[in-house]
Amino acid sequence: MIKAMIFDLDGTLVQTERLKAISYAKAAVQLCPRDIREEQVVEAFKDVVGRSRRVVATALFERFDLAEAAGRRMGEFGVTKPWQAFVQLRLRIYDEMLADPAVLRRNQWPFSIDLLKQARRSTCRTGLATMSNCVQVRRVLEVLALRDAFDFVATRDDVERGKPDPEIYQLVRRELDVPAAQCLVIEDSPSGVAAAVAAGMWCIAVTTAFTRQRIHEQQLLDERWIVDDPADLTGVVMQMMTERQQD
């Protein structure tokens, strides 16, 4: 029986993965305006979506050869490595995007948020497990009126290891006091799915343009539990919960 539903944030409840991709792309173009196009970086972001900030930044930094240009910006940000300057430039852009409530509201995923509200009305405990930091998460939840929607929220600030390590899901499970086998995770990224599965939880993946191909190629989930059309999400969740009722 499913007694807890745990949601990812970025790409699952709100299209912040898209906003993050755009922020990385704008930062790269600012560093190398004659050599890089935004759409190239957005496409490359698909290969590392859902990973830790350092992993994402390093992969893009190396792929687009940003070392020399970023090195010239280290003093501006008070950092000692060129890739850190790239990260800080990208965070400045991303924070400007998050500062606009209209941007967040335009990019929310209504079907996932509806599922969260249904879970709150049921007997399910609800949790959030996100690799965004606490300040950003609080901002997003406040704008979307979801601040009180979860029994427990875990962010990147609460764990040592990011997804695909299962640590963050294990933390949420403990705080909700629900066995892993009775938790259902709603994810969108390959690393998030891997983390949920490694934690021994049930998982349904709601894919996006950034994650669809890799989620299917990953083969960690039965195809029944991969949702390519978000309008189908509630039906797929009900199907899984019905099956789990018999456990």
- Look at residue 247 and tell me whether its pLDDT is greater than 70: no
Q: Is the model's pTM score more than 0.75?
A: yes
**Which residues does residue 152 pair with via DSSP β-bridges, in sequence order?**
127
- Look at residue 128 and tell me whether its pLDDT is greater than 90: yes
Name the nearest CA neighbour of 234 among 107, 149, 122.
Answer: 122
CATH-assigned architecture of domain 4-15+108-244: 3-Layer(aba) Sandwich (3.40)
Strand ranges across the sheet with 202-206:
152-154, 125-129, 4-7, 183-187, 202-206, 226-227
Question: Which amino acid, one-letter code, is at 196?
Answer: A
% of the chain at pLDDT higher than 90? 82
Per-residue pLDDT tens for 211-233? Answer: 899 899 999 999 999 999 999 99
SS3 151: coil
**pLDDT given at position 209:** 86
Between 4 and 247, name the one with better pLDDT: 4
Q: Where do the domains of the chain lie?
A: 4-15+108-244, 17-102
Per-residue pLDDT tens for 138-156? Answer: 999 999 999 999 999 999 9
**pLDDT given at position 245:** 78
Ramachandran assignment for 229, one of left (phi > 0), alpha (psi -120 to 50 degrees), beta (any other): beta
